[in-house]
Homo-oligomer: A and B are copies of this chain.
Amino acid sequence: MLIVQKYGGTSVGDIERIKNVAKRIVETKRAGNDVVAVVSAMAGETDRLINLAYKLTPDPDLRELDVLISTGEQVSTALVAMAIISLGYKAVSLQNHQIKIVTDSSFTKARIRKIDAYKLNALLDQGIIPVIAGFQGIDEEGNITTLGRGGSDTTAVAIAASLMDYRNDIICEIYTDVDGVYTADPNIVPDAKKLDEISYEEMLELAVSGAKVLQARSVGLAMKYNIPLYVKSSFTDSEGTLITKETQKMIEEVVVRGIASDKNQAKITLLGIPDDPMVIIELFKAIADANIVIDMITQTSSVEGLTDIGFTVSKPDFKKAFEISKDFAKKNGLRNVEGDLNVGKVSVIGIGMVSHAGIASRMFTALARSGIKVQMISTSEIKISCIIKESDVEKAVKVLHEEFKLSETEQRSQRSKIKN
């Protein structure tokens, strides 16, 4: 089996931890697997480098910022490779320019275009463990780029995907400082349970809805190529969470898989808009032109040719979006525009939900019984989200975790089957 192991910043945070990472890689190799390691910068290093840049100038050139911060991962690759070699195994560190992880030229937030895995596969065939710098790439002109925060997860999945031309039976293990994906944030719900398994779609909704275990981009990429992701702690030997394709069993057995929450929400409501698609499109186009992402949108049914529209944006985008909305209202003679920064989102997530009636009504009833007023609702096949008062968010997570009896969920474990 080919195992791509990604180690985050805390996992390679100091010399002792790097030695442990090397031991874990060597054990995986010794067990008969091929291993590719993808490493982040040592915890704190990226911030140290960014601070150097901002001490120099308030507006650092983005190309040079990427040249600067990409050194963090390079240091980690060299140290991890050294540590593996000192244990008597063969390893080589590889930078972006050495295995050609080609990205576009959007410095500080580049997207991977292609990876030529030929060299990587040749190294694996020689029994060598490649240790690859996560988070970075190189554009067509050879400039150094970075993928944005958390980009090392994406590197690991992209490396795994690129090796599918040469190998089957590939898994991507993400080592981090939490030991898996939980039914809710354990800081809010102390008896939240660790999930043994979750589908890509559910994980994607959890990630987008504020769970910080994995970058949504890396989950989407894993889903696209159907690469199993296994998230686990590098500090303990406890089992983690397997993120994989939905199984029939998943759909049939479990309805609600987890509760996610996100306080980084703000709401804008426009009252009395003409119920004319061309007018409404004009509003959303103006907001999109300002590079603002809209999360939820609701529209009430039309009364006398007029309708109300509510939508949410992230808190930092609120001010700009509110201005655009007010300009739009003025231009179109609307009755009123309301803005509210004190909102948050709570979401119930589960792949089986779509075929089970009554989840939504159980959700609303539970919230109402606890005195939590729902301001907006949005539903998808595997998620129901409600906008509520920001100060109600923790309480709502607890109430819903209790309502759907998630601490009692009997967790499936297919990990052992996949691992062996």
Report which A residues bind B (CB closer than 8 A): 15, 18-19, 49, 52-53, 55-57, 59-61, 63-65, 67-68, 70-71, 74-75, 77-79, 81-83, 85-86, 92-93, 95, 97-98, 142-144
Contacts and interface: CB of A to CB of B under 8 A. Distances in A.
A97 B143 CA distance: 10
Given A52-B79, A64-B82, 14 more contacts: A15-B52, A15-B56, A53-B79, A53-B82, A57-B83, A59-B86, A64-B93, A65-B78, A65-B82, A67-B78, A67-B95, A68-B78, A68-B82, A71-B71
A152 to B, nearest CB: 17
A105 to B, nearest CB: 13
Nearest to A68: B78
B15 A86 contact: no
Contacts of A56: 15, 18-19, 79, 82-83, 86
A200 to B, nearest CB: 35
A57 B82 CA distance: 8
A68 to B, nearest CB: 4
30 contacts: A15-B52, A15-B56, A18-B56, A52-B75, A53-B78, A53-B79, A56-B82, A56-B86, A57-B83, A57-B85, A59-B86, A60-B82, A61-B81, A61-B86, A64-B79, A64-B81, A64-B82, A65-B78, A67-B74, A67-B77, A67-B78, A67-B93, A67-B95, A68-B75, A68-B78, A74-B74, A95-B144, A97-B97, A97-B98, A98-B143
A142 B79 contact: no
Nearest to A15: B55
Nearest to A142: B98
A78 B56 CA distance: 11
A56 B17 CA distance: 10
A71 B82 CA distance: 16
A210 to B, nearest CB: 33
A31 to B, nearest CB: 23
Nearest to A42: B52
A57 to B, nearest CB: 4
A55 B66 CA distance: 28
Given A56-B15, A56-B83, A49 B75 contact: yes
- 7 closest cross-chain pairs (CB), A and B: A68-B78, A57-B86, A71-B71, A67-B78, A97-B97, A64-B78, A64-B82
Among A49, A56, A92, residue most surrounded by chain B Cβ atoms (within 10 Å): A56
B79 A71 contact: no
A78 B107 CA distance: 13
Contacts of A97: 95, 97-98, 142
A342 to B, nearest CB: 39
Contacts of A81: 61, 64, 67
A360 to B, nearest CB: 52
Contacts of A93: 63-64, 67
Contacts of A77: 67
Contacts of A55: 15
Contacts of A65: 78, 82
B71 A75 contact: yes
A56 B49 CA distance: 23
